Structure 1
Amino acid sequence: MTILAGNPQTGLLFSPPLDILGGIVNVYNFWGLVLSPAYLLWGPSDVYARISLAALGVLAVWNVFTLGRFLRSRWVGLLAAVPIAVYPSFVLVESTVLRESAVLFLLTSVVRLAIGPSSLSQARRIALCGAGLIMLPLLRWELWILEALAISAAAVVYLDARTDGDVRDRLHTHWVGTSALSIAFLYGIWQVSKRAARYLSFLHSERAVGRTAYLASVTFRQPLRMFAFAPVAVVYFLFTPFPWMVGTAADVVVAAEALGNVAFTVAAVRGIRSLLAHQLDWRVSTGWVALGVWVITGSILFGLGTANVGTAVRHRQMFIWVVYLFGAVGIVEWFSSYLLDSKVLY
């Protein structure tokens, strides 16, 4: 079952041939299966589904606030949560039957369980995090790649922190083996990049339609061209529409949100410097490294595959909330002296 134009549709969950890079499960039919309880109830089924997803959006806002409060103070949590709660693009998406609301809820919940405060036992936290990490690629298959990269980065930081740098010392000692592994790793990256460049260039061209399309003539079917275009794609992905792209009143609202994203990104630089200057618990520092990798790699992957403002606005919600967290830390650092004098920082 899937939802097309507001109507439930049936279909197979598994569509052969199976391709781990292209997605094993038909995500649209799986999403329809998730929503099916609302359409089995008597009454306005679409309203039930929208209310349920709006509730998930509210919980996502609370998760972000809790993470910010745990990270530094309630002001950090409030500043990070406000854009998600009031930006029209977030509010409108979370009131529809699109997957974005559920994805955002799962992301923020996994991070909160992993590094935030919780009254649950460690075993339950691990089980719930695992369930969330499994559900995310079922809703949007590309996320398994980002999960693998973020978890790998977190594992490296974790091992280094728990062994007091012993891993680095061993790598320096066995430099021949380390060099061989690095060459093999880079070769693997290159081979994957060739396939990714062809797929993302095709996806970019397919999405470069409509009034809000941008960079429609750009193609990057070779890895080097893809790498060169990636910074531009990320900027457009996170900060569109630019002023010269505004054509309607609705565009003005979204452009104002984009300016807010720019401000939070600038503040995030200060926030990251502040976090690095503090001695954080190894679990928290590992989590923030994973989130940093998530934002960077996710913005590159989805930025390369996006070529219109509407898609960018929906997809960047999976990543921009982390920028809001880091940016909120930077904003509070800038105004900390005033807040302390006013006795409202904590």
Structure 2
Amino acid sequence: MSIPLIAVLTAGISVVSYQLQNYLLTTITGAFLFRLAFIIVDSVVGFLPTVPISSGHNRRAIDLATAWSNGQFVGALGDVTTMRIVMAHLLAPFYVVLGHSPVVGRIGIALVSLLVGYLVFKLARHVTDYRTSVLAASIVLFWPTIVYRSVVIQREVVLVVVMLTFLWAAVQWLDSVTLRTAAIAFLATAATFALRRENLVLIVAMVGFVSLVKSRDKPYLTGLTLLSVPFLAFFALNFETFTGHGSTLSPAALESFAYGRAHGDAVYLMGLHYDTWLDIILYAPMKVLYFLFTPFPWHIQSVTELFVGMSALALLVATLFVRRGIAILHDRPYYLGLLLSYFLTGVVTYSIIEMNYGAAVRRRIQFIPILLLLAVVGLSNVEFDVRWPTR
């Protein structure tokens, strides 16, 4: 199947879905067409910077696809990390079907990224109507930094899908725990361990919150909350296993982790040091601002940074409506609490160890969908009084 044929089929589905008033499908297919056009133009003009790790993902996926075509299903990749194995197996089917062009892997990532919008829609439907949910999905799917990470061969958007999948399952658990949602959560947890194991802390935060809620009616589930204690203790005592820095969790280990990521021209707050836990607490608000809203105007030195900086400014504007969204959801405290347990835990922990706005842009797309969802909920009942001038 050729790329033009994919574009034609997608456009046809988009038109039919719009005529049938299936606006979610229209949004998703439109987002894919936009990504496809983005990929094709960049493959010709080359205006996006090349992500170094992309070539490795591309090569391994092609090697795996070739091995499958030759009947070899074991040992094709050799000794590589689990993350690289997962990415190769995720992308290889696209190379089998569409050929061995590097563009194919980008199309595969673009298709996977569409699940971000679908999951945001499903999360929004718990608290708002269909059209507002579609609006939330649309904003997330077309958010500039999410689009950018959806057209490069990298794990970031895949990880967003994984984390939102677990969050969706956890939201279902607020009503009832089923075998289906438990299986989905288990697979999401396994994928998280393979793609970025430090994110297991976020999963523990979500499970802990749900178990606290459920134990109000079923006290025996309090034990689930207590299960998080051994994991957190293991994480703290084996910090190096998860991050490669320090030995146990300490201000010095966190500083080593942060400065280990602070390289290149995109570093910030290089004079900041964690001597005590109090330093970490006091610096946290400033670090959160840098994590969410960099690059600031004085950081911008290229067209790419201008593009990302404008996205950061738009994110700041969207944040202004988050408080209103939280207020609207006050009658759904468990749902709101679960979203915030993921969002706040993730933003605060990542901001503490981030000192590079290039990396911050990549990492924060895990949490942008929740921020935008809350902002859209905040705008959902805003009424605009438009008065036309009379002659």
TM-score category of the 2 structures, normalised to the smaller one: 0.7 to 0.9
The one-letter code matched in structure 2 to 1:4 is G
- Of the three residues 51, 56, 77, the one matched with 1:4 is 56
CA contact (8 A) 1:38 1:45 kept: no
Aligned partners of 1:234 and 1:28: how far apart in 2? 30
Which residue in the other structure is 1:138 paired with? Answer: 194
> Structure 2 length as normaliser, TM-score?
0.67
Runs of 4+ in 1 over 4 A off after TM superposition: 36-42, 191-194, 336-339
Deviates more, 1:211-220 or 1:94-103: 211-220
SS of the equivalent of 1:201 reads helix
Q: C-alpha root-mean-square deviation of aligned residues, in Å? A: 3.4
The Cα shift of 1:152 comes to 0.6
Aligned partners of 2:124 and 2:207: how far apart in 1? 21
Tell me the alpha carbon deviations over residues 128-156 of structure 1, each in whole angstroms, 9 at most, x when there is no partner: 22211221221111111111122112211
The Cα shift of 1:36 comes to 4.3
Cα gap change, 1:259/1:74 in structure 2, threshold over 3 Å: closer, same or farther? Answer: farther
**1:299 and 2:347 correspond:** yes
SS of the equivalent of 1:230 reads helix
Tell me the alpha carbon deviations over residues 62-105 of structure 1, each in whole angstroms, 9 at most, x when there is no partner: 22123223321234323422332222221121111111121122
Kindly report which structure 2 residues correspond to 1:1-346, keeping only aligned pairs within 5 A, or say none: 4=56, 6-8=58-60, 10-12=77-79, 26-38=82-94, 43-115=99-171, 122-160=178-216, 162=217, 195-276=249-330, 278=331, 280=332, 285-333=333-381, 335-336=382-383
Unaligned runs of 5+ in 1: 14-24, 171-180, 340-346
Aligned partners of 1:78 and 1:114: how far apart in 2? 21
Cα gap change, 1:196/1:41 in structure 2, threshold over 3 Å: closer, same or farther? Answer: farther
Unaligned runs of 5+ in 2: 1-53, 64-76, 240-247, 387-391
CA contact (8 A) 1:80 1:325 kept: yes
> Structure 1 length as normaliser, TM-score?
0.74
The Cα shift of 1:188 comes to 6.3
CA contact (8 A) 1:50 1:95 kept: yes
Cα gap change, 1:101/1:38 in structure 2, threshold over 3 Å: closer, same or farther? Answer: same
Aligned partners of 1:227 and 1:261: how far apart in 2? 24
Tell me the alpha carbon deviations over residues 47-71 of structure 1, each in whole angstroms, 9 at most, x when there is no partner: 3322221111112112212322332
Aligned partners of 2:94 and 2:151: how far apart in 1? 15
The Cα shift of 1:108 comes to 2.5
The Cα shift of 1:325 comes to 1.1
CA contact (8 A) 1:158 1:286 kept: no
Aligned partners of 2:253 and 2:95: how far apart in 1? 35
Aligned partners of 1:130 and 1:51: how far apart in 2? 27
The Cα shift of 1:124 comes to 1.9
Cα gap change, 1:135/1:313 in structure 2, threshold over 3 Å: closer, same or farther? Answer: same
The Cα shift of 1:295 comes to 1.0
The Cα shift of 1:32 comes to 3.5
The Cα shift of 1:40 comes to 6.1
Aligned partners of 1:217 and 1:200: how far apart in 2? 15
Deviates more, 1:107-116 or 1:196-205: 107-116
Identical aligned residues as a percent:
24
Aligned partners of 1:64 and 1:302: how far apart in 2? 22
CA contact (8 A) 1:265 1:327 kept: yes
The Cα shift of 1:316 comes to 0.3
